[in-house]
Structure 1
């Protein structure tokens, strides 16, 4: 029986750092700050740890955009840092309107964060 102890310990250690699937969805912003050039053309870039999950489509000329894209990452781990960057699409250079960062936890969570340049981003994520 003693020869199984190291194997059992290895299996238990593997389970504690198991990867899980992260899904980010239901993103919408409100009261985004409009520049002197008019209302923003906003989009969101999504990251988990060092992985880039993608970016939403651009919502033109609205201070209250919403996005119906979902982003999935199968190699997420609890306490990884998820980062959402809200940008204003412009000719030449896109302006960063704000960043939302959070350590992810198991389960489904809704959050709202306030952006540096004004307005807020609401989003939902599931880690399981």
Structure 2
């Protein structure tokens, strides 16, 4: 009986290292910069570790966009890097406004990230 109890304890201890669901939501930006073509046509691409989780829709001519999309990743682990890239869609090629990245931790976390070319990205994620 002791060996089955030990096995159960080892299994339960290992759960904290197991993959969990990551959910990224409440993406919004403020003060995105204008370019030569006018106000930013912004969108965000989302990555966890080396995996692309997708991208938001484009919010045309909006310096303070809010995106309704949510992104999920079922193989996330605490310590993985969450990377969000804010882009301005243009005719020939899209401009990178800035990158936000951080190591994820368990729980619900909200962050503000200051973008290299101006503006702030606000986002929330849950890992658990």
> TM (normalized to structure 2)?
0.92
1:3-18 aligned within 5 A: 7-8=7-8, 11-12=11-12, 14-18=14-18
Distance (whole Å) between structure 1 residues aligned to residue 16 and residue 65 of structure 2 = 39
Q: What's the counterpart of residue 99 of structure 1?
A: 99
Runs of 4+, deviation exceeding 3 Å: 1-10
Q: What's the counterpart of residue 62 of structure 2?
A: 62
Does 2:89 match 1:89?
A: yes
> Which string of whole-angstrom CA distances, capped at 9 and with x for unpartnered residues, describes residues 49-104 of structure 1?
01100000000001111100000111110111000000000112100000000111
Residue 37 of structure 1 and its aligned partner are, at CA, apart by 1.6
RMSD between aligned residues: 1.6
Structure 2 gaps of 5+ residues are none
Q: Report how many residues are paired.
A: 128
Structure 1 gaps of 5+ residues are none
Distance (whole Å) between structure 2 residues aligned to residue 12 and residue 103 of structure 1 = 24
Q: Which moved more, 1:3-12 or 1:43-52?
A: 3-12
> Which string of whole-angstrom CA distances, capped at 9 and with x for unpartnered residues, describes residues 24-60 of structure 1?
0001000001112210100000000011000000000
Q: What's the counterpart of residue 119 of structure 2?
A: 119
SS at match of 1:87: strand
Residue 14 of structure 1 and its aligned partner are, at CA, apart by 3.0
Residue 10 of structure 1 and its aligned partner are, at CA, apart by 5.1
Residue 15 of structure 1 and its aligned partner are, at CA, apart by 1.8
